[in-house]
Amino acid sequence: MATKERKRKPGRPPADVGPNGKPRKTSEYPRLFLLVRPETRALLRKLSQASGKPVWRIVDEAVWAMQVPSR
């Protein structure tokens, strides 16, 4: 008896789910360019390697963790 295996679609999986419930690609995100000290960039790279997450996701999670509660 043959078992059915799910085949993955070609390409990378979506990065996350948008507010409408549909998957979003990182290529659809708006661009943000900023200047950081070399030490900060080195630290972000180390955190990325240690966690296995891309730098953009580390920055994104840090920003959301610092979110100010609304009044």
| pLDDT tens per residue across span 27-48 | 888 899 999 999 999 999 999 9
What digits encode the pLDDT tens for the residues 56-70?
Answer: 999 999 999 998 877
Report the pLDDT value the prediction gives residue 28, as an integer from 0 to 100.
Answer: 81
Indicate if the alpha-carbon torsion angle 29, 20, 68, 15 is positive or negative: negative
Residue 45 CA to residue 53 CA, distance in Å, equals: 10
Asked whether residue 2 carries a pLDDT value surpassing 60, the answer given is: no
Whether pTM > 0.85 for this model: the answer is no
Contact 62, 48 (CB under 8 A): no
Q: How would you classify residue 60: left for phi > 0, otherwise alpha for psi between -120 and 50, otherwise beta?
A: alpha
Indicate if the alpha-carbon torsion angle 67, 55, 52, 17 is positive or negative: positive
- Give the Cβ contact number of residue 69 at 10 Å: 4
